Amino acid sequence: MTVAGEVVETETVNSGKPLVEVKGLRRVFDLSKPWLNRMIEREGRILLTAVDGVDFAIKEGETYALVGESGSGKSTIAKMAVGLLPPSAGSIMIDGTDVWGKKSQDTERRMRRKIQMIFQDPFASLNPRWRVGAIIAEPISAFGLISDPQDRAARVGELLSLVGLDPRDGQKFPHEFSGGQRQRIAIARALASEPKFIVCDEPTSALDVSVQAQVLNLLRDLQERLGLTYLFISHNLAVVRHVATRVGVLYLGRLVEEAPARDLFAAPQHPYTKMLLEAVPDIDMEGKDRQSIAGEIPNPITPPPGCHFHPRCPVRRVECDVKIPLPLPVGDATVRCHLFDPSP
């Protein structure tokens, strides 16, 4: 693929054990008005199921991409995975520890150190009043990794070099850097606690197209050098195609297709995945016009019954309106669609 003229290669293959295991993950938000207002206005509760029974696993050294339109639940999953938002049901195990299970303070601390997150907007995630050196040193101090100030400063310099910045940049403030450089600072800060697992939430979507490939290449190089495992959240399939080992496609909180990245892009199975791919500008589609994604994503407070995708599906069947499709194995993929149901 070409992102802004620069070639981003893919390939992060690792046949190791799962580092991350997500089972039956569910998150419901209560958007109801206060009780008294509901009584006066004779309104019921309003519940939004943002994530509805999601399962996936990420092997050590892999990049697992979650893709979907806005409102599909991908960022909610990211927040639950890093411990920012509790699930309503289900579990997330990271390196054998349940992120939301009861644990000792010591285990909690060790787990927190292993998990980091890189956000979409690097400027909003960096304290503008702190020098970059202090921003990167903060996790080193918080986790008690290096107590000697000189050694800590040397480590900050090492981290800045690792992400392609000058160690002297530690003296500057975030506003003195470009968007791409600020994302490099955010990556250096994420690496400061020596994590194993990093959640990258749309890490390049706020950047100029010209620097997206540089940041993606940096993430891939760091993965190879440090053996990192990524959960990569993105709405951009052109980016995902070149960073992911496996891909999960979300639609209104449900994982509708999950497959090795190569298989998913070469032979998508679910009608929604096909529709998403037909809308991607940067994929080989000789002789075909790019299609826009038909219809709009429905209101997640009142999702369509049966298969949530049925109002937009070009190959919808009678049962799709009422029957929820279950995840079914299709080759190396798992697909939620009645087309693959042997006994509909």
**Residues within the interface to ligand SF4 (CB under 6 A):** 271, 307, 309-310, 313, 315-317, 320, 325, 337-339
Nearest distance, CB of residue 317 and ligand SF4, angstroms:
5
What SS3 class is residue 110? helix
Q: Cα separation of 216 and 203, whole Å?
A: 8
Which of 182, 310 has the CB closer to ligand SF4? Answer: 310
Nearer CB in complex with ligand SF4: 226/339: 339
Residue 309 Cβ, how far from ligand SF4 at the closest point, in Å? 5
Shortest Å, Cβ 29 to ligand SF4:
24
The smaller minimum CB distance to ligand SF4, of residues 197 and 309, is found at: 309
Contact 12, 224 (CB under 8 A): yes
Separation of alpha carbons 215 and 208, rounded Å? 11
Residue 297 vs 339, nearer CB to ligand SF4: 339
| Cβ at position 22, least distance to ligand SF4 in Å | 22
In the complex with ligand SF4, the residue whose CB is nearer, 215 or 320, is 320
Say what the alpha-carbon torsion angle 160, 163, 169, 171 is, to the nearest 10 degrees.
Answer: -50
Nearer to ligand SF4, 215 or 313 (CB): 313
Closest CA to 156 of 175, 170, 143, 146: 170
Closer Cβ to ligand SF4, 54 or 207, answer by number = 54
Say how far apart CA 251 and CA 31 lie, in whole Å: 20
Helix axes 132-142, 149-162, angle to 10 degrees: 120
| Residue 208 vs 321, nearer CB to ligand SF4 | 321
We find the least distance from the C-beta atom of residue 235 to ligand SF4, in angstroms, to be 19
- Contact 198/20 with Cβ under 8 angstroms? no
> In angstroms, what is the minimal distance from the CB of 320 to ligand SF4?
3
Q: How far is the CB of 128 from ligand SF4 (least distance, A)?
A: 46
Measure the CA–CA gap between 160 and 2, rounded to whole angstroms: 27
Q: How far is CA 2 from CA 185, 191, 212, 241, 274, in A?
A: 24, 27, 10, 11, 21
State the CB neighbour count (10 A cutoff) for residue 113: 18
37-49 burial code (b ≥16 CB/10 A, e <16): eeeeeeeeeeebb
Sequence-distant (≥ 6) Cβ neighbours of residue 74 within 8 angstroms: 66, 67, 68, 233, 234, 235, 250
Q: How far is the CB of 264 from ligand SF4 (least distance, A)?
A: 15
Which one, 246 or 310, has the nearer CB to ligand SF4? Answer: 310
Nearest approach in angstroms of CB 316 to ligand SF4 is 4
